[in-house]
Chain A
Amino acid sequence: EVQLVQSGAEVKKSGESLRISCKGSGYSFTTYWIAWVRQMPGKGLEWMGLIYPGDSDTRYSPSFQGQVTISADKSITTAFLQWSSLKASDSAMYYCARRGSSTAFDIWGRGTMVAVSP
């Protein structure tokens, strides 16, 4: 089964660092882009950026450039989203999604909830 399994919910304090993960299985991890999408409480979907695990080519939305780091470790078929210094405004659900051969995002993880207290 093709799937993306995300790490569990996180509760952090403002200023702390965090890395969440997204493990792909059931397909060739290195040959599909993986994107990260933010959804703030009660709001819509925001595209943050994506990475090609085969060569770690990474693209960011200008809204998130410099705010987060996207990486991948192909040896463990896992993509990561990390923050060096969290803010309360980073509190949201974060989804990873695979960009399929159709170019759309065809496989989604269940999401990782991040809660950051001021």
Chain B
Amino acid sequence: EIVMTQSPVTLSLSPGERATLSCRASQSVTSTYLSWYQQKPGQAPRLLIYGASTRASGVPARFSGSGSGTDFTLTISSLQPEDFAVYYCQQDYNLPYTFGQGTKLEIK
């Protein structure tokens, strides 16, 4: 099983700041199969990024993804109030498909 480890667990930032969230896989993951999701309280997860770097439909350009192999990054260039949420990375390269434990992005 590929273990996905996200860091930090909690990130405290202010609106307007840049956020950098990391995701590390225990073994190499083809970029095609690395995704990022956003989850707000009381809501279902929402796909943000697929293929490591492609924004899903309707996702603002301030969200970007990068990385390859075992190290991936989600960057939010200038935080908006609605961006404070929990973010998960996921690999669907090898079964079982696995999620990271999440990074909670909170308002400082």
Contact = CB atoms under 8 A, between A and B. Distances in A.
Interface residues of A, number: 26
A58 to B, nearest CB: 11
A32 interface: no
Interface in A4-62: 35, 37, 44-47, 49-50, 59-62
How big is the B interface, by class? 20 to 34
B102 A45 contact: yes
Given A95-B44, A110-B44, A104 B99 contact: no
A109 B54 contact: no
A105 B102 contact: no
B2 to A, nearest CB: 11
Contacts of B88: 44-45
Contact of A106 (B47, B86, B99): B47
- A contact face: mostly helix, strand, loop, or mixed: strand
B97 A35 contact: yes
Interface string B13-43: 0000000000000000000110101010000
Interface of B: 1, 32-33, 35, 37, 39, 44-47, 50-51, 54, 56, 86, 88, 90, 92, 95-102
